[in-house]
Amino acid sequence: MSDTRIGLTHMQSHFIADNDDVILSWPYKNDVMLAGADTEDIKRNESFVLSHTHSQFIRHLLSDKAFTGFKRFDANGMSIPEALDGTDNFIFEGNNLIVLHSIASVFRGKVKLIYIDPPYNTGSGSFAYNDNFTHSTWLTFMKNRLEIAWQLLADDGAIFIQIDDNEHAYLKVLCDELFGRHNFRENIILKSSTESGVNAVNVKRGERLFKVKENILFYSKSDSFRFRPFYTKTAYNHNYKYKVVKKGDEYSIVDVWKQKLNDFQEVHHRKPDDKQRQLLEWEFAEDCLNEPETIYSLEKNIKKAGEKFKHFAAENKAKQIVEEFLNSKNETILVYDGGMLVPLRERVVNEGDKNYFGVLASDLWIDIPTTASSEGGVDFKNGKKPERLLMRIIDMCTLPGDLVLDFHLGSGTTAAVAHKMQRRYIGIEQLDYGKNGAVARLQRVIEGEPSGISKLVNWKGGGSFVFCSLARLNAYFVDRILQAYSVEECNAMAEELKNSSFIKYELREQVVYILPEQDLESARQMLLGWLDLNYLYVDRDESRDADFALSDADISLTDQFYSLYGNV
C-alpha cells in the first residue's frame, strides 16, 4: 500500500516525523557568543564570537570564576557580609553566560522557576538592551544561555521565555531541540499594549496591524510537571445564586436573586425596568461575592458521576432538601434537587480587599495591566514587565522558599516580585541602570515600597540580598577595545597592552606592535586578537594570586559561595 500521508519532508523525500536528525541550523550554531546585551554591542559588530575550534579556550572561559565587591543589603542598609548561606538571595553583575556557568556547580538542579525577557532582536535599538542582533548571532546568543540554564532547573521546575513575533517561531523550534518537544507546555499570549498611539498611522495605511501581544513560551523540566491552577477575573455567573446555611444538622437554602426581585416588587409593586434590573444584578453579584462561603450554583448535569452518587441524587430530588454525600475521596458534597451544589468560594479571585468572580485560566492573558511605568520607582517607559505578570507566573510554579532565576534581570521586576512573595531568587544583569536598576529597586522593596503587588501580598518590607560582580581581567580591555571610537585610540591602547601580562604568550617577545592604517573595526579586531582568552575573568582557582589583587574578603566569600549546599 502506498504512503498517503501529508507532511514536511527533507530532500530525500523522507518525512520529518520519521527522522531524528532534523534540527534548526544556522551559522555559528556551535560557537559561543560572549557579547552582552547592551546597545554598545551594536558598535562592537556583535563581537565576541568564539569558534568551536577554540574549544580549549571556551572550556577555560566557562569554568568557575571569582567574584568581587560583595555587599549585603538589608533593613540596616549596606554592609560587607561576614558569611554566606543557602538562604541568601543573589544579584550578580556581569556577563550572564559566564555567571550562569560559574553558578552551575552550586545551583544545578535547584532552581524551581526561570523567567527571562531577553532582547527581542527587533532592530529598534531603542532600549538599553542590544535589540539589534542579526538573526544567526541572536540564535547563538540564546542557545548558549538556554543550554546552561536548563541544567540549573530542578526536575519539577519550569522555564518561561517572553518574546515577540520577530524570533518567536525560531525560538520555539530551538527550545524544542534543547528542552525536548515533549516538555513544551504552552505558548501563552499576553496582551502587552493597547490599540492606540503613533502606530495608528501605519494601521490606517494598511501597512501593519497594531502590535498588542507578546508570547511566553512555557516549558517544564519533565512532562510530569503540574502547575497550580488559577482563576482570572470575568463577569459574574448568575448561576451562583443559592445561599446555603447549616444550622445544627439541617441546611436552609435561599435563591438570592429570586429573593432580591421579590423584595423589589414588594416595595415598588412592579417589575424593575432595564436600568433598575442592571443595578439589581450588580448589587446581587456584590452581595454574593462578599460572602462566597455560603453561595453555590446548582449543577444538574451529573452524567459523568458515579452510579452511587446518581442513585443518591435521584432519591434527593423528591425530598427538596440539602443533603450531604461523602465521595470516594472522603469529600463532602452538598446535593439539592437531584443536583450537586458547587461552592462559589472556589471561583473567587481576591485582589486586596475585593473579590471578583473567576474563570479557570486559558493561554490568553488579557487581564494583566499593560503598563508598569510607575512600579518599583523605575523610570523605564518600555521593556519593564508588570509585577502582576511575574506574580502570576511565580504563583503558578513555586511555593515560598523556592528558588527563582532571571538572567536578563533588567530593572529587577522578577527579583522584586520574588522578594515580596517570600521566594528566594538569583538575578543576573550586565548593565548598571543606576537608580532604575535592580539593586536600587530591591533596596526600595526592603524599605517596603508600596507599588506593584505590594498591596495584594500585604508587603511591609524586610528581607535581604547579596550583590557581587565577576572579577574581570582582560574583559576590562575587551570592553575598552570594542568601545574605541578611533584608530588613534586603538594605538594608544596598544601601547598600554604591551606592558600587560595578559596578552598571548607567543606575542610577548615582540618589541613593537604596529596597527595597520586601516578602518576602525580592523584595528579593534587586531587588538582583540592579542588578548589571552584565558584571562578574561579571574578563575576561582587563581583568586589568591597576588597579580589579580582580590581582597581577602572577596577571596573568602567566593570560597563560601562555591561551598554552599556542600559543594566544593
CATH number for position 29: 3.40.50.150
Residue 71 falls within a domain, yes or no? no
Residue 294 falls within a domain, yes or no? yes
Whether residue 370 sits in one domain with residue 221: yes
Residue 68 falls within a domain, yes or no? no
Report the candidate in 27, 36, 29 with the shortest Cα–Cα distance to residue 478. Answer: 36
Please name the residue that has the C-alpha cell 511555593: 399
Domain boundary among 438, 463, 488: 463
Measured CA to CA, the distance from residue 493 to residue 503 in angstroms comes to 12
Report the candidate in 537, 556, 557, 466 with the shortest Cα–Cα distance to residue 98. Answer: 537
Q: Are 154 and 221 in contact (CB under 8 A)?
A: yes
Measured CA to CA, the distance from residue 565 to residue 568 in angstroms comes to 9
Residue 468 falls within a domain, yes or no? no
Range of the domain at 342: 233-359
Q: Give the pLDDT confidence score for residue 5 in this predicted structure.
A: 52
Pairing of strands 111-116, 332-336: unpaired
Compute the Cα dihedral for 184, 185, 191, 193 and give only its sign.
negative
Whether residue 351 sits in one domain with residue 423: no
Compute the Cα dihedral for 516, 521, 524, 526 and give only its sign.
negative
Is the peptide bond between 48 and the residue preceding it cis, with omega within 30 degrees of 0?
Answer: yes
DSSP conformation class of 466: E
Whether residue 238 sits in one domain with residue 154: no
Cell of 57: 579556550
Q: Give the pLDDT confidence score for residue 4 in this predicted structure.
A: 55
Whether residue 431 sits in one domain with residue 480: no
Cell of 564: 554552599
Whether residue 24 sits in one domain with residue 150: yes
The amino acid at residue 392 is R
In a 13 Å sphere around the CA of 198, the CA atoms on its Cβ side amount to 0
In a 13 Å sphere around the CA of 238, the CA atoms on its Cβ side amount to 9
Domain boundary among 436, 463, 490: 463
Helix (H) or strand (E) holding 74: strand 67-74
Whether residue 341 sits in one domain with residue 292: yes
Q: Are 508 and 110 in contact (CB under 8 A)?
A: no
Q: How far is CA 340 from CA 150, 252, 314, 335, in A?
A: 45, 15, 11, 5
Burial class (CB in 10 A: 0-12, 13-18, 19+), 161: buried
Cell of 408: 536578563
Helix residue ranges, H only, 108-226: 135-152, 168-179, 200-204
Strands lying side by side in the sheet with 424-429: 77-79, 67-74, 465-470, 90-93, 424-429, 403-406, 111-116, 153-163, 213-220, 184-191, 364-365
Whether residue 297 sits in one domain with residue 198: no
Report the candidate in 322, 184, 163 with the shortest Cα–Cα distance to residue 242. Answer: 322
In 3-state terms, what secondary structure has residue 235? coil
Measured CA to CA, the distance from residue 460 to residue 75 in angstroms comes to 12
- Along the 568 residues of the chain, how does pLDDT read in single tens digits? 455 555 556 555 565 555 555 567 777 788 887 765 443 443 344 445 666 656 777 787 889 999 999 999 999 999 999 999 999 999 999 989 999 999 999 999 999 999 999 987 665 543 344 555 677 888 888 999 999 999 999 999 999 999 999 889 999 999 999 999 999 999 999 998 888 777 788 888 888 888 889 999 999 999 899 999 999 999 999 999 999 999 998 999 999 999 999 999 999 999 999 999 999 999 999 999 999 999 999 999 998 888 999 999 999 998 999 999 999 889 999 999 999 999 999 999 988 788 999 999 999 999 988 766 678 777 665 567 899 999 999 999 999 999 999 999 988 999 999 999 999 999 999 877 666 789 999 999 999 999 999 999 999 999 999 999 999 877 778 878 888 888 888 888 887 877 666 777 667 666 456 666 778 888 888 888 888 766 778 889 888 887 777 899 999 999 999 999 876 5
Please calculate the CA angle 62-120-63 and round it to the nearest 5 degrees: 5
Q: Which residues pair with 215 in a beta bridge?
A: 163, 189
Whether residue 353 sits in one domain with residue 258: yes
Helices 413-420 and 387-397: angle between axes, nearest 10 degrees = 60
User: What is the chain's length?
Assistant: 568
Measured CA to CA, the distance from residue 296 to residue 216 in angstroms comes to 35
Measured CA to CA, the distance from residue 397 to residue 234 in angstroms comes to 23
CA dihedral (82, 84, 87, 89) in degrees, to 10, reads 90
Measured CA to CA, the distance from residue 17 to residue 15 in angstroms comes to 5
pTM: 0.84
Distance of CA 401 to the CA centre of its chain: 17
Q: Are 51 and 375 in contact (CB under 8 A)?
A: no
Residue 158 falls within a domain, yes or no? yes
Please name the residue that has the C-alpha cell 556547580: 105
Residue 312 falls within a domain, yes or no? yes
Report the candidate in 278, 246, 245 with the shortest Cα–Cα distance to residue 264. Answer: 278
Whether residue 44 sits in one domain with residue 189: yes
Residue 565 falls within a domain, yes or no? no
Q: What are residue 112's phi and psi, to 5 degrees?
A: -85, -30
Whether residue 149 sits in one domain with residue 25: yes
Whether residue 208 sits in one domain with residue 130: yes
Measured CA to CA, the distance from residue 541 to residue 552 in angstroms comes to 14
Please name the residue that has the C-alpha cell 568564539: 50
Cell of 309: 452518587
Cell of 423: 521566594
Domain boundary among 413, 428, 463: 463
Residue 1 falls within a domain, yes or no? no
Which residues fall within 8 angstroms of residue 508, CB to CB, at 6 or more apart? none
Q: Give the pLDDT confidence score for residue 125 in this predicted structure.
A: 44
Q: Give the pLDDT confidence score for residue 531 in this predicted structure.
A: 80
Question: Using alpha carbons only, how large is the chain's radius of gyration in Å?
Answer: 30
The amino acid at residue 369 is P
Q: Give the pLDDT confidence score for residue 524 in this predicted structure.
A: 84
The total domain count for the chain is 3
Distance of CA 14 to the CA centre of its chain: 38
Whether residue 440 sits in one domain with residue 352: no
Please name the residue that has the C-alpha cell 559588530: 45
Measured CA to CA, the distance from residue 498 to residue 496 in angstroms comes to 5
